[in-house]
Chains A and B, each alone.
Chain A
Amino acid sequence: MLDRESTFADPDIIQLLQNELVPVAIDQAYQRRQKDAEGDFYRKIAGKGPRGDGSNGGTTQGLYIAAPDGTYLGYSNHRSPERIKQLIRKGLSGTASGNTSLIEQGKKDLRYSPIPPKGGLTVRVQAKVLGGYPATEDQWKKIFQTSLSRDNLWLTALEHQAILKGTIPNRVQRRIARFHLVDNTRGEPPMWKEDEIEKIEMEIKNGVLTGFARLKTGNGSRGYDCQFYGVVESEDGQMTRFDIVAKGDFWGNGPYTKGAPKGKFPLGISFRLADGSDVADGIPPQGSRGWIQGYLR
C-alpha cells in the first residue's frame, strides 16, 4: 500500500518502469516455494540477494533487478524513491546486451499456480475506511487513512449458476464473510474463522441483493456489523452485473493492520465483476493463499 502511493507514484520511477525495464509484481511466498521453471528462475535471482533464496523458510520480499538471463543486478527493501532510482540506474548500467534464451514454462507447480475456476467468476473486492481517523500531517499515515484496498473473490461455475437462479449459496456467503469482509486497508489482514461468523444472510429479489452480516472474534476485540445492498443482472445465462456494497461498523485490527481508528469506525467494501482490464484481475484471492481447496469449499 505504502509502496504504491510513494515509490511507485514517483514520476521518474514510473517513466523508467514504463520504458526502460520490464516490471513484474509477485507474491514471493509462491515463487520461492514452487518447483517449476518460474520458481527456479526466481530463486536464482533472490538467492544472490541479501535474503537468500528462501530455502531457510524466510521471506525474500523486496525489490530486485535482474538481467533477462537471471543474472542478479541489485536489491533494495527501501521505499525511498531516491534509493530506488539508484537501484534502477545500477541495474541499467549492469545489463549486458546480447542474446538471451526464452525460458519455457514447462510443467507448472499447480500448488502455487492457482487459476480461477473454469466457468466461474472473478469479482473485484475493494475496501475503504470511511471515517474515524484523527487528522494527521504525517504523509505515511495519510496514505493508510485514504487507502482503497484490492482483492479478488472467486466463484465456481456451480455457484455462478446458483446466483443466476437467484440464490447466494451458503458457502458463497461464508466465503465472502471469512475472506472478504476484512479491513485490509493498512496491510495483510487476519481472516475470520468459521466460528467468528455470528450471522450472515444474503438474498436476491427482483435482481436486488440485500442482507447483513455480523462477525466477531471470540474475545470481541475485532468485529464487523454490516449491511449489504446490490444489483445482480444476467444475460443469456451469463452474469453481467454483480455490484454489491457492504457497509457497517468495524472495530479492532490485526498484527499487520495496526493503526485502525479507535472504537467502531465505518468500513465500506465493494464488489464488482472483473473484466480482465486490470492486471490485478488475475491475482488469486488472498484468502486462497496456499489453500485454494479450503477457500473454495
Chain B
Amino acid sequence: MKPFVMIIAAWFGLGIGADGSRPISLMAQELDQATFLELHNQLNASPEAPWRTIPWKISLLEAQQEAAQSGKPIFIWAMDGHPLGCT
C-alpha cells in the first residue's frame, strides 16, 4: 500500500499499522458466527489424548494420602510452570 493511502486510511480509523499490519477493520470480517464456532471447536483439547487418560493429581499431599492407603509409589512430574497447564 502506498504511504499516502496508508495515512488516509489510518486517519479514517481503519487501523492500519505503520508496519503494514493488516487493518483491524478487515480482520473483523474474518470471524463471524460460523467461523467462530468452527475455530472454537478446533481449539479444544480432546479428553481422549493419551496423556490425559492418566489420572493425574495436582496436590502432592493428596497423592501421598492415596499412596499411603494403596501402598503404591508416587510418581512426581515436577516442572517449571505447571506440566498440565502453562504451555
Contacts and interface: CB of A to CB of B under 8 A. Distances in A.
Interface in B27-81: 27-28, 30-33, 35-36, 39-40, 42-45, 47, 49-81
A101 B68 contact: yes
Contacts of B67: 22, 67-68, 100
Nearest to B83: A25
B5 interface: no
Contacts of A62: 78
A245 B40 contact: yes
Interface stretch (A89-97, A131-139, A156-164, A166-174): A89-97
Interface residues of B, number: 60
B82 interface: yes
A229 B80 contact: no
B54 to A, nearest CB: 5
Contact of B24 (A8, A185, A227): A227
Contact of A17 (B62, B71, B75, B81): B75
A121 B51 CA distance: 26
Interface in A248-297: 248-249, 264, 268-270, 272, 277-280, 282-284, 286, 289
Contacts of B33: 229
A41 B60 contact: yes
Nearest to A37: B61
Contacts of A98: 71
A3 B76 contact: no
A97 B79 contact: no
Contacts of B31: 227-229, 245, 247
Contacts of A279: 56-58, 84
B42 to A, nearest CB: 7
Contacts of A230: 36, 40
23 contacts: A1-B87, A8-B51, A21-B75, A23-B55, A23-B63, A24-B74, A26-B77, A26-B83, A38-B60, A45-B76, A61-B80, A64-B74, A68-B72, A70-B64, A88-B75, A94-B73, A188-B86, A227-B30, A245-B36, A247-B27, A272-B44, A280-B58, A280-B84
Interface of A: 1, 3-5, 8-9, 11, 14, 17-18, 20-29, 31, 37-38, 41-42, 45-46, 59-70, 73, 88, 91-92, 94-95, 97-98, 100-103, 105, 126-128, 147-152, 184-189, 199, 210, 212, 214, 220, 223, 225-231, 243-245, 247-249, 264, 268-270, 272, 277-280, 282-284, 286, 289
Given A24-B74, A100-B68, A128-B42, 17 more contacts: A3-B51, A23-B55, A23-B56, A25-B82, A26-B79, A28-B80, A61-B80, A68-B73, A152-B85, A185-B87, A212-B24, A212-B27, A230-B36, A247-B31, A268-B39, A283-B82, A286-B81
